[in-house]
Amino acid sequence: MLQLKTLRRYAVARSLFAPTTLLDAVHRLGGFVQADPLRAPARAQDLTLRHRVRAYKAGDLERRYPQLPLQEDFFINYGFVTPELRVLMHPRTARRVWDKARWKQADAVLEQVGLLGEAHPADVDAALGHGKVKNWFGGNSRLSTELLDGLHYRGFLDVTRRDNGTRCYALANPWQAPEDIDAALDALVDALVQKYAPLTATGLSRLVSMLYAAVPQWESRRRAAFVRAKSRLGQARVEGVDWFWPAAEDPAQAWRIPAKVRLLAPFDPVVWDRPRFEQFWGWAYRFEAYTPAAKRVRGHYALPLLWRDQVIGWANLKLLKGELQHELGFVDTRPQDPAFERALEEELSAMRQFLRL
């Protein structure tokens, strides 16, 4: 009979697989790596990949992106997706409907991108002079930038590269809608399960509901996709809770957990599901980067600290005059095991190499 501790070991071992190539790691993560612009001390996508890609360094994904068969796009969040995953989501119909006047402006942007071949938002804005608009959080943005973002979301544009963090665009090839929408939805759900398993029934339902960002045009079909998923996935009832995972996997096998310390990104698949986090480790982790400083409990960008298969605390890292500084916090007491201290120093040394210090 499965126990919660068995599922916890399974969750850690299957997600923190042996380091491999960048593309293989993305595929093993369900074809999707969540992105975040904050750098503390590195971006979330880099912090996620560093444990899973051999000799990975901060910024490798962005540097290699123009040569990789990956695209920036929305899935359940914004990030990097494989072509196999992206083709399941387009042509996408956005929830926010543009009127004729806005589409006229958008068509002008598309024409300008076609003329430029690869378009920087500043070049599009200089050519069209659309001016500024209020963005969703109350600030001012260039209308051209807003239109580029909206056209990218709708599948009319590809992101070709980043110029100091700014997305550059090119025209996308036309999309052909999937012949079998239910099969496409099932594949999207399976990608989520591949990345985040094992999932409770509540966690699975929440992920399926988040597909509105990927395929709002199929919102009415999501409930049926959830029902189909529950019937085809591996599953068991553990301590009164229904759990689900890929049907081909066996959570009960002898999962090997190395005696390592690993500092995880706030959006790492191991810790992403916050209710599951509390079930596995008995305490609540919260991402506090956007919390007022006076109300933070663990720090601006606290990284969950995994020791073997237990998340026992967190770390705040920062660079000061080229040196990596760290502050640790523990849920209970700091482990007295000398093996923990050795493993912690190995992880900090690996972080310095990752940051090219």
- CA dist 282 → 38, 111, 145, 345 (Å): 28, 54, 43, 26
Cβ-Cβ contacts under 8 Å for 352 (sequence gap 6 or more): 324
Q: For each of the domains in the chain, give its residue range(s) and CATH number, in order of start.
A: 100-171 (1.10.10), 261-354 (no CATH)
CA-based end-to-end distance of the chain: 47
| pLDDT tens for each residue of the chain, 357 residues long | 899 999 999 999 999 999 999 999 999 999 999 999 999 999 999 999 999 999 999 999 999 999 999 999 999 999 999 999 999 999 999 988 999 999 999 999 999 999 999 999 999 999 998 766 665 555 667 889 999 999 999 999 999 999 999 999 999 999 999 999 999 999 999 999 999 999 999 999 999 999 999 999 999 999 999 999 999 999 999 999 999 999 999 999 989 999 999 999 999 999 999 999 999 999 999 999 999 999 999 999 999 999 999 999 999 999 998 899 999 999 999 999 999 999 999 999 999 999 999
Cβ atoms of 285 and 274 within 8 Å: the answer is yes
User: Six-digit token pair at 172?
Assistant: 């996308």
Among 49, 54, 7, which Cα is nearest to 27's?
Answer: 49
Instruction: Give the whole-angstrom CA distance, residue 134 versus residue 167.
Output: 20
Helix (H) or strand (E) holding 314, with range, is strand 310-320
DSSP 79: E
The encoded tokens of residue 23 equal 């593309």
- What is d(CA 247, CA 11) in angstroms, rounded to the nearest whole number? 15
Which run of H or of E encompasses 285? none
Total count of residues recorded for the chain: 357
Nearest to 32 by CA among 68, 79, 65, 66: 79
Q: Please, what sign has the CA dihedral across residues 128, 63, 137, 196?
A: positive
- Residue 323 host element (H or E): strand 323-330
- Tokens 């025209």, residue? 171
Helices (H), the chain: 4-15, 22-28, 44-49, 60-64, 83-86, 100-116, 121-128, 143-153, 181-196, 201-209, 222-232, 274-281, 338-354
